[in-house]
Structure 1
Amino acid sequence: MRALIDLHCHSTVSDGVLTPTEIVNHAAEKGVRVLALTDHDDVAGLATARAVAETHGMQFINGVEISVTWRRRTLHIVGLKINPEYAPLVQGLANIRAGRHTRAEGMAQALEKVGIHGALEGAYEYSKGGIISRTHFARFLIEKGYAKDTKAVFKRYLVKGKPGYVEHQWASLEDAMAWIIGSGGVAVIAHPGRYDLGRVTMLELMHEFRALGGAAIEVVTGSHTVDQYQEFAKMAKSFDLASSMGSDYHGKGQTYIEMGRLPSLPSHCVPVWRDWSEVQNMELEAH
Structure 2
Amino acid sequence: MREKMKIDLHSHTHHSDGALSPKELVDRAHNMQLDALAITDHDTVAAIDEARSYQQSQKRPLWIIAGVEISTRWHGFDIHVLGLNLNHQDAGLLARLATQSQAREQRAQEMSAKLAKAGIEGIYADAKALAGVGQLTRSHFARALVKRGAVKDHEEAFKKYLGKDKRAFVKPQWPEIPEAISWIREAGGKAVLAHPARYDLSAKWLRRLLVFFAESGGQGMEVTHPQLAPDLKRQLASYAMEYGLEASAGSDFHFPGRWTELGRNLQFDSQLTPVWNDWQRPAA
Q: Which runs of 4+ in 1 moved over 6 A?
A: none
C-alpha contact (below 8 Å) 1:247/1:256 kept by paired residues: no
Please report the RMSD computed on the Cα atoms of aligned residues, expressed in angstroms.
2.0
1:262–1:152: structure 2 CA closer, same or farther, 3 Å change rule?
farther
Pairing partner for 2:275 from 256, 272, 276: 272
Give ranges in structure 1 of 5+ residues lacking alignment. 281-287
Answer whether contact 1:78 1:187 (CA < 8 A) is retained: yes
Distance 2:197 2:75 in 1: 17
Return the offset for 1:156. Answer: 3.1
Report whether the alignment pairs 1:175 with 2:183.
no
State, as a whole percentage, how many aligned pairs show the same letter.
Answer: 38
Which 5+ residue runs of structure 2 have no aligned equivalent? Answer: none
Q: Aligned partners of 1:249 and 1:45: how far apart in 2? A: 14
C-alpha displacement at 1:130, in angstroms? 1.8
1:191 aligns with 2:195: yes
User: Which residue of 7, 10, 34 maps to 1:8?
Assistant: 10
Count of residue correspondences:
278
TM-score (norm 1): 0.90
* Structure 2 residue matching 1:277: 3-state secondary structure: coil
Deviation at 1:91, TM superposition (A): 1.0
Cα distance between partner residues in 2 of 1:36 and 1:208: 25
Q: Which residue of 2 aligns with 1:27?
A: 29
* 1:64-91 CA-partner distances (Å, limit 9, x unpaired): 0001112222110000011112222111
Q: CA deviation at 1:59?
A: 1.0
Q: 1:226 aligns with which of 227, 230, 237?
A: 230
Measured after TM superposition, the shift of residue 167 of structure 1 is 0.7
Cα distance change on mapping 1:256 and 1:102 into 2, 3 Å: farther
Aligned pair 1:252/2:247, yes or no?
Answer: no
What amino acid maps onto 2:22 in structure 1?
A: P
- The more displaced of 94-103 and 161-170 is 161-170
Letter in 2 for 1:186: K
Contact 1:101 1:132 in 2 (8 A): yes
Q: TM-score scaled by structure 2?
A: 0.91
Greater mean deviation of Cα atoms: 98-107 or 64-73? 64-73
What is the deviation of 1:260? 2.9
1:113 has 2:117 as partner: yes
Q: Is the 8 A contact 2:65 2:84 kept in 1?
A: yes
1:154 CA displacement: 2.4
Q: Which residues of 2 match residues 87-126 of structure 1 at below 5 A?
A: 87-126=91-130
Q: One-letter code of the match for 1:92?
A: R
